[in-house]
């Protein structure tokens, strides 16, 4: 399986490059949109949670919100493009053989490029708020790897499900909005009690996003229990999704 992916690596590169060009074709700002969206959302939520309903996050709120929105936008953007990645390439799916996971994985990689571009603003915010740079930043690749595994796993499942049931893309758009507010993107979810809080504890995106804040802002190692569980879930989702995807691959052409 891994040998096949390596064999078709050039195709993955070309698909990612094509999707990048299509995303920003005939736009004035180009990659600037990758930075503009989290910044605008940060301003909006900063007004809400600093002026209207102030909350204490233990750090400057704009820095808290931007870091959460940056990580979440990567995940959400990858999902939005991955869900249609195979249905929008029907001629390739039905007529040419190659690993079909190239489509959702390329969608994730395109969003990863946006994520990298927008990440430049984090360094600026760290300097502006005099947060400083910590040794824990060396663990940033670990947090990114965990999120990448989880994102690719969900992308594989979504793209496959949408191929069989076209309602999936509409349902998941609603689910993404709900999921965002059940994750510590713009406010700490540990402030919520009751049954809803217990449900939120099963959300792997919260430890991942908090992991970014731990290594970048707080200067500490991510909590080994919660982040460890999120890492285990991410690896499990990735390999399970890959296995399910390959087992159903022979049915793709019949359902396009």
Contact indicator for 84, 64 with CB cutoff of 8 Å: no
Report the alpha-carbon distance of residue 211 to residue 149 in Å, rounded: 15
DSSP string across 87-121: GGGHHHHHH--S-TTHHHHHHHHHHHHHHHHHTHH
Q: Tell me if 12 is assigned to some domain.
A: yes
- Tokens 């910044």 appear where? 39
Task: Look at residue 63 in the predicted model and tell me its pLDDT.
Answer: 94
Q: Tell me if 188 is assigned to some domain.
A: yes
Q: Tell me if 62 is assigned to some domain.
A: yes
Contact indicator for 159, 224 with CB cutoff of 8 Å: no
Its domain, for residue 142, covers 2-250
What is the domain count for the chain? 1
Q: Tell me if 208 is assigned to some domain.
A: yes
Contact indicator for 96, 162 with CB cutoff of 8 Å: no
Q: What are phi and psi of 17, to 5 degrees?
A: -65, -40
Task: Look at residue 94 in the predicted model and tell me its pLDDT.
Answer: 66
Q: Token pair of 54, please?
A: 């102030």
State if pTM tops 0.85: yes
Task: Look at residue 1 in the predicted model and tell me its pLDDT.
Answer: 55
DSSP string across 37-73: HHHHHHHHHHHIIIIIS----SS-HHHHHHHHHHHHH
Q: Tell me if 256 is assigned to some domain.
A: no
Q: Tell me if 255 is assigned to some domain.
A: no
Q: Decide: helix, strand or coil at residue 150.
A: helix
Q: Tell me if 51 is assigned to some domain.
A: yes
100-to-61, 145, 167, 172, 208 alpha-carbon distances in Å = 42, 22, 21, 21, 28
pLDDT by 10-residue block (mean), the chain, 256 residues: 69 83 70 81 92 89 95 94 82 70 90 90 89 89 96 94 86 91 89 74 91 94 92 96 86 64
């Amino acid at each position: 399986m891994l040998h096949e992916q390596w064999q078709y690596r050039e195709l993955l590169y070309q698909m990612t490059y094509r999707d990048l060009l299509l995303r920003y074709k005939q736009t004035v700002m180009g990659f600037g949109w990758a930075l503009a969206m989290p910044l605008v959302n940060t301003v909006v939520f900063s007004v809400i949670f600093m002026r209207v309903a102030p909350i204490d996050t233990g750090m400057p709120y704009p820095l808290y919100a931007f870091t959460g929105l940056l990580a979440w936008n990567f995940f959400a953007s990858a999902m939005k493009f991955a869900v249609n990645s195979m249905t929008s390439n029907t001629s390739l799916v039905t007529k040419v053989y190659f690993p079909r996971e190239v489509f959702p994985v390329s969608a994730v990689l395109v969003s990863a490029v946006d994520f990298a571009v927008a990440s430049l603003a984090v360094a600026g915010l760290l300097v502006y708020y005099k947060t400083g740079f910590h040794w824990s930043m060396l663990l940033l690749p670990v947090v990114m790897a965990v999120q990448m595994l989880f994102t690719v796993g969900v992308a594989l499942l979504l793209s496959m499900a949408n191929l069989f049931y076209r309602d999936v893309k509409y349902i998941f758009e609603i689910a993404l909005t709900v999921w965002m507010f059940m994750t510590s993107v713009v406010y700490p979810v540990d402030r919520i009690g009751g049954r809803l809080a217990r449900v939120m504890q099963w959300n792997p995106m919260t430890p991942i996003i908090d992991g970014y804040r731990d290594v970048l802002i707080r200067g500490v190692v991510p909590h080994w229990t919660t982040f460890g569980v999120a890492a285990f879930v991410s690896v499990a989702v990735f390999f399970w999704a890959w296995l399910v995807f390959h087992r159903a691959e022979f049915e793709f052409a019949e359902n396009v």
